[in-house]
Every structure is written in C-alpha cells, then in structure tokens.
C-alpha cells in the first residue's frame, strides 16, 4: 500500500513536471499568439474606423460637390432665362421707341395740315377754295384727334417700359426713356398760334398769288419749327446705351 502511494506521488510529480515543462514551452508562444491576435483585431478596428471616416467624408464632400454643381446649374439657367428676358425687352423697347417717334411725326403732320387748312379757309380767297380747305380742315382735324390719342397711348406704354428697364438695366435707361417721352410731349405742342399761321399764309399768298404756294410755305415753316423738338438725340442715346448693356450681358453669360 505504501509502495502504491509512493508510485502515485511519483506519477503526480512527473505529470506536474511535464505540465510545467509544457507550460514553459507552449505558454509563451500561446500568449504571444493571443497578443498578436488581439493586436490584429485592434489594428483592424482602427483601420475600419479610418476607412469609415474616409467614406463618410467622401460622401459628405460628394454631396457638397453635387449641391454646388446644382446651384451653379440653377444660376446658369437663371442667367440664361434673364438674358432671354432682357433680349425680348430690348426688342420691345426698340420697336416702342421707334413707334413713339413715328406717332410724334404723324401727329405733327396732321396737326399742321389741320391748322394750315383752317388758316387758308379764312383768307380773302374765292368761295370754292374756301369750301375746299374747310373740307380739308375737317378731314385733318379728325386725323389729328386720332393721332393724338394714339400718341397718348404710346406715351403710357413708354412709362411702363421705363419701369421695366429700371428693373433689368438700372436707372440710366429709365431716365433716357422718360426724357424721350417728355421731349415727345413738347414736340406735339403747336409751334404757332392761329394768328401767326394766318400771317404766314397771307404774306406768301401776297407774293405768289397761289394758295398752294402759301400752303407749302406754311408747311415748311411748321416743319422747321417742329423738327428740333423731336427727341432724336435722346433716341440715339437710348439705342447706344442699350446696345452697350446687351453686349455686357452677352459677355457675362
């Protein structure tokens, strides 16, 4: 029995010794490998975090880039649409300014023809000529009234145009349009009163003895007085200014 216990004790010592020996051999390697595995996991986690951070930053930058592109595209579309509006406004204003000047001339022609016909009808001439020029007077009076209404309507359109130009082109064109309108209002006023017209007609009739000569002479006098009142300089200034504006707009698009 005692021998058996000794054998068991010796066996236990051998096993313990073997275990210690194995531990000395394998435990450092195991611990080292576990440390490597732990370090590898930590490295992978750090790398993963960095990759995710880069991905998130890339996504953010990409979204900002897309937003910037969209905003730039919207600005470009806006500039292009605004340029189209300005081109249309330029075409409209050119037509309206020319039309306004035409209305001035038309009214001047009808008004002068009316006044001259009335003046001749009151001269000391034969009754048949008086009747003819009375008829001319009534005809031209109706035309003068219609031309004046057309002028006033176009003058109101000029006010609207001035307001639009101030929005898209600034105050310079606004003031030029108002100057054209104001000059037009002055241009249609009668340059001669009734007595002055009759005096012109009588003088020429006394020289030539012909009512047609007197009529032509008075018409030339009317035109010489009316022509300087027309807004020719302001109209030229308007077209030069708006052309410069459109060139600048085209270069900026």
pLDDT computed for residue 27 by the predictor: 52
| Residue 64 domain-assigned (yes or no) | no
| Residue 101 domain-assigned (yes or no) | yes
Q: Can you tell me the mean pLDDT for 107-134? A: 94
| Residue 69 domain-assigned (yes or no) | no
pLDDT computed for residue 29 by the predictor: 58
pLDDT computed for residue 96 by the predictor: 93
pLDDT digits (tens, 9 = 90+) for 186-224: 999 999 999 999 999 999 999 998 999 999 999 999 999
Give 181's DSSP letter. H
H or E stretch at 110: helix 2-121
| Residue 113 domain-assigned (yes or no) | yes
Domain that holds residue 168: 85-252
Reduce the DSSP state of residue 69 to 3 states and report it: helix
pLDDT digits (tens, 9 = 90+) for 46-64: 656 655 665 566 566 556 6
CA–CA distance, 136 with 117 (Å, rounded to integer):
6
More confident residue, 200 or 3: 200
Reduce the DSSP state of residue 174 to 3 states and report it: helix
Number of compact structural domains in the chain: 1
Look up the pTM and report it.
Answer: 0.67
Task: Provide the pLDDT confidence category of residue 165 given band limits of 50, 70 and 90.
Answer: confident
| Residue 1 domain-assigned (yes or no) | no
- Contact of 173 with 238, CB cutoff 8 Å: yes
| Residue 45 domain-assigned (yes or no) | no
Measured CA distances, 182 to 30, 84, 152, 188 (Å): 103, 29, 12, 10
Say whether pLDDT at 70 is over 60: no
Say whether pLDDT at 41 is over 90: no
| Residue 135 domain-assigned (yes or no) | yes
Residues composing the chain = 253
pLDDT computed for residue 120 by the predictor: 94
| Residue 26 domain-assigned (yes or no) | no
Reduce the DSSP state of residue 138 to 3 states and report it: helix
State percent of the chain over pLDDT 70: 66
């Amino acid at each position: 029995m005692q021998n058996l216990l000794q054998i068991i004790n010796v066996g236990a010592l051998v096993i313990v010794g073997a275990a210690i020996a194995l531990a000395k051999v394998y435990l450092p390697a195991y611990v080292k490998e576990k440390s490597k595995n732990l370090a590898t996991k930590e490295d992978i986690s750090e790398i993963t975090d960095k990759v995710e951070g880069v991905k998130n930053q890339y996504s953010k930058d990409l979204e900002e880039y897309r937003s910037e592109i969209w905003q730039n595209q919207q600005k470009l579309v806006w500039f292009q649409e605004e340029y189209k509006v300005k081109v249309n406004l330029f075409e409209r204003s050119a037509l309206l300014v020319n039309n306004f000047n035409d209305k001035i001339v038309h009214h001047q022609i009808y008004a002068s023809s009316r006044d001259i016909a009335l003046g001749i009808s009151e001269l000391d001439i034969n009754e048949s000529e008086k009747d003819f020029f009375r008829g001319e007077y009534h005809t031209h009076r109706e035309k003068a009234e219609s031309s004046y209404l057309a002028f006033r309507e176009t003058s109101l359109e000029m006010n609207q145009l001035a307001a639009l130009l101030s929005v898209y082109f600034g105050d310079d064109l606004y003031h030029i349009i108002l100057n054209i309108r104001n000059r037009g209002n002055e241009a249609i006023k009668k340059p001669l009163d009734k007595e002055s017209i009759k005096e012109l007609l009588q003088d020429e009739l006394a020289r030539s003895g012909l009512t047609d000569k007197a009529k032509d002479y008075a018409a030339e006098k009317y035109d010489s007085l009316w022509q300087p009142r027309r807004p020719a300089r302001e109209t030229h200034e308007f077209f030069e200014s708006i052309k410069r504006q459109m060139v600048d707009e085209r270069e900026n698009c």
